[in-house]
A = this chain, B = another copy of it.
Amino acid sequence: MNTLGYAILSVLSKRPSSGYELASCLDMLWPAKHSQIYPLLTKMEQKGLLSYEHIEQIGKPNKKIYSITEKGRITLESWIKEPASNQIVRDDFLIKVYAIWLKDEESAKKLIEDRLVKLNQQVSLQVTEIEKANEEQISTTSKQFGKYILLCRSHFLNKEEISWCHWVLNLFKSSHISKLILGLLSANTLYKIMQNLTVIVELGEF
């Protein structure tokens, strides 16, 4: 059983779903295409980890609703007991930042600004989601608790990356100024400010 299999089990342990629903649900957990999900569901059903019910629909294609079996729940519970081990981040933005010295200042700034736009979009979507969740008063024992804290985690990290983007853009700004006022705001100074504040939305226009 691979990790995707456990991700599927953990979603189905909350509620039965179709393969199609799983695909969108898994996006925040372990992104996978439908072409990987459907064959795996069949394999897991054959192993007795899942069971399914055929649902006929009008105006929509028919679907299969998968549920976790007792064997599936036992398998999942023994897996989640083991310590987490692998974390893989593959983001071509990181490579482009690494090679930023090959760019002129305008396109270097554009790289960061584009990231900012994307992050701001994500953050504003998350704000509404979190506000909705907060109204429901989710307790630590709720089925929704895991999803809620993951949502907040992603939100906090996105906001932190937004701060980082502003910090980088300010390094460009201050590098211009330091040609005039030598080293007034060095990278080191800005780094120390960063250590104490979260959101540097605007450091002013200098």
A residues neighboring B (CB under 8 Å): 3, 6-7, 10-11, 13-14, 28-31, 76-77, 80-81, 83-103, 105, 107-108, 111, 114-115, 130, 134, 137-143, 145-150, 152-153, 156-157, 160-161, 163-164, 167-168, 171-172, 175, 183, 186-188, 191, 194, 196-198
CA distance A134 to B186 in the complex (A): 9
CA distance A130 to B191 in the complex (A): 9
Given contacts A14-B101, A86-B92, A198-B198, list 19 more A-B pairs with CB under 8 A: A3-B95, A10-B98, A10-B99, A29-B95, A30-B95, A31-B88, A80-B95, A83-B114, A84-B115, A87-B93, A88-B89, A88-B90, A89-B91, A98-B146, A99-B146, A101-B146, A108-B140, A156-B161, A156-B163
7 A-B residue pairs with CB within 8 Å? A10-B98, A29-B95, A97-B149, A138-B187, A149-B171, A156-B163, A160-B198
Contacts of A108 in B (CB 8 A): 140
Residue pair A188, B134 in contact (C-beta under 8 Å):
yes
Q: How far is the CB of A71 from chain B (nearest CB, A)?
A: 15
Q: How far is the CB of A109 from chain B (nearest CB, A)?
A: 10
Contacts of A148 in B (CB 8 A): 187
Contacts of A105 in B (CB 8 A): 140
CB < 8 Å: which of B97, B146, B152, B175 contacts A140?
A: B175
Residue pair B85, A92 in contact (C-beta under 8 Å):
yes
Contacts of A87 in B (CB 8 A): 89-93
Residue pair B7, A140 in contact (C-beta under 8 Å):
no
Name which of A28, A80, A145, A196 has the most chain B CB atoms within 10 A of its CB: A80
